[in-house]
Amino acid sequence: MSRHLLVTNDFPPKVGGIQNYLYELWSRLEPDSFMVLTTDHQGADDFDRNVGFQVQRVKGPLLPTASLAKKIDELAEKFGADLILLDPALPLGMLGRRLHRPYGLVLHGAEVVIPSKIPALSGLLKGVMRDAKILIAAGRYPAQCAFDLLGDSTTDPVIQIVNPGVDVDRFAVASEMQKLEIRRELGLTEGLAVLFVSRLVPRKGADSLIKAMAMLNRDESPPQLWIVGSGRDKGRLSRLIERSGIDAVFLGKLSQDKLVALYGAADIFAMLCRNRWFGLEQEGFGIVFLEAQACGVPCLVGDSGGARDALEPGGSGFVLDNPRDAKSVSLALDTLIRNPELRLKMGSRARYFVESDFDYRKLADILKDAIDSVVLA
């Protein structure tokens, strides 16, 4: 059995997509096959006591310093690690060449995409990647960025895509009673509903969704919009809702249990992510799309970065090539609203799609095999 040390700034109980991705995958590996070096965080003591693997914490953030390199080498020696995985690729990956053991990198999205497009950083990132034994990419999009940056190098590392996934036992299709219970608990309509879950920032496209819903036929009981999340764009979105006159509810941040229930109670999920800043800001993947589909809900997805990989276009939902175009979004919404049989068919397909390719148990096996392939070869 190979052993490795995961070194990351992003690990629970910190909350976020990267933290969730790392925990859901690594918690499914053999607990003696790895340990984690990460930063301290409120609630970490209780969290660490309840996991079945070793976690060591230091004051953060983790930066590519000589003292951290020494700490990693000492910990790897004591644990007997064959490989050290560094996350993110920059700046933490810069430590790789200074370590006494082989290293790999975990690639998510922005921390790869942005440096790869900036001449002053692309050479540094390429060197860090080229000397790694393995690159673990959280989706096709960061993997493609790595391929493009490395080009025809003869010393390419192994690039293994390990997609974000879902706990398919937790995110499941809700019963009619469960749908009614969460709607009544949160004071929501019992009619048709569209769910949006994300940070409230311009790139996530809530404004396009609001404009699209305002274009729907008001004589046919238009759906209620549920907005889950917080962020700097809330004020602008509130004013847009007021001007448009649509029925929308801000629900803020919800507990994970309530969020799971709310996914299952929705009829349509929509997050119209889009590119900004000349492509420097894009969607890396979109775990929310998988979570909604696992609950049997069809999705409307903006075509940005790797987002289209998070659904089966035309099967489990629709990809909007121009998510800024409220008219095209409105037409896609109207198609789903007017066709309950299509919603049901797409919802069933969505659940199958996630179970087949995005069950974290299967993805953890891919991760294990990839690590073993470079350590035990």
Segment 132-172, tens digit of pLDDT: 999 999 998 889 888 888 886 656 799 999 999 999 999 99
User: Which pLDDT score is estimated for 276?
Assistant: 78
The answer to whether residue 119 is domain-embedded is yes
Q: Provide the domain count of the chain.
A: 2
The answer to whether residue 83 is domain-embedded is yes
The answer to whether residue 238 is domain-embedded is yes
* Mean pLDDT, residues 116-143: 88
Supply the DSSP string of 142-166, one letter for each residue: HHHHHHHHHTT-TTPPEEEE----B
Residue 118 has pLDDT above 90, yes or no: no
The answer to whether residue 170 is domain-embedded is no
User: Which pLDDT score is estimated for 153?
Assistant: 61
User: Which pLDDT score is estimated for 250?
Assistant: 97
Note whether 128 and 183 are same-domain residues.
no
Q: How far apart are the first and last CA of the chain?
A: 12
Note whether 53 and 134 are same-domain residues.
yes
Note whether 149 and 220 are same-domain residues.
no
Q: Provide the angle, in degrees to the nearest 10, between the axes of the packed helices 360-375 and 17-26.
A: 70
Q: Provide the angle, in degrees to the nearest 10, between the axes of the packed helices 119-130 and 140-150.
A: 100
Return mean pLDDT, the chain: 93
Residue the block writes with tokens 């340990």: 35
Per DSSP (E only), the strands in 153-289 are 158-161, 193-197, 224-228, 248-252, 268-271
The answer to whether residue 344 is domain-embedded is yes
Q: How far is CA 184 from CA 172, 188, 189, 191, in A?
A: 20, 6, 8, 12
| CATH number assigned to the domain comprising residue 23 | 3.40.50.2000
Note whether 352 and 364 are same-domain residues.
no
User: Which pLDDT score is estimated for 279?
Assistant: 58
Domain that holds residue 20: 4-165+359-375
Note whether 311 and 369 are same-domain residues.
no
User: Which pLDDT score is estimated for 275?
Assistant: 85
* Mean pLDDT, residues 8-29: 94
Strand partners, 39: 58
User: Which pLDDT score is estimated for 152?
Assistant: 66
DSSP-derived letter for residue 336 is H
The answer to whether residue 171 is domain-embedded is no
Note whether 63 and 212 are same-domain residues.
no
Note whether 156 and 182 are same-domain residues.
no
For residue range 164-220, list pLDDT tens digits in order: 999 999 999 999 999 999 999 999 988 999 999 999 999 999 999 999 999 997 777
User: Which pLDDT score is estimated for 280?
Assistant: 59
User: Which pLDDT score is estimated for 17?
Assistant: 84
Note whether 20 and 123 are same-domain residues.
yes
The answer to whether residue 50 is domain-embedded is yes
The answer to whether residue 313 is domain-embedded is yes
* Mean pLDDT, residues 18-30: 96
User: Which pLDDT score is estimated for 266?
Assistant: 98
pLDDT bin (cut points 50, 70, 90) of residue 1 is: confident
Residue 15 has pLDDT above 90, yes or no: no
Higher pLDDT, 121 or 290: 290
User: Which pLDDT score is estimated for 103?
Assistant: 97
Note whether 241 and 129 are same-domain residues.
no
For residue range 215-240, list pLDDT tens digits in order: 997 777 889 999 999 999 999 999 99
Note whether 137 and 211 are same-domain residues.
no
For residue range 351-364, list pLDDT tens digits in order: 999 999 999 999 99
- pLDDT above 90: percentage of residues in the chain: 80
Q: Identify the sign of the CA torsion 105, 374, 286, 116.
A: positive
Measure CA 358 to chain center.
12
Note whether 138 and 181 are same-domain residues.
no
* Mean pLDDT, residues 19-44: 96
Note whether 9 and 157 are same-domain residues.
yes
User: Which pLDDT score is estimated for 76?
Assistant: 97
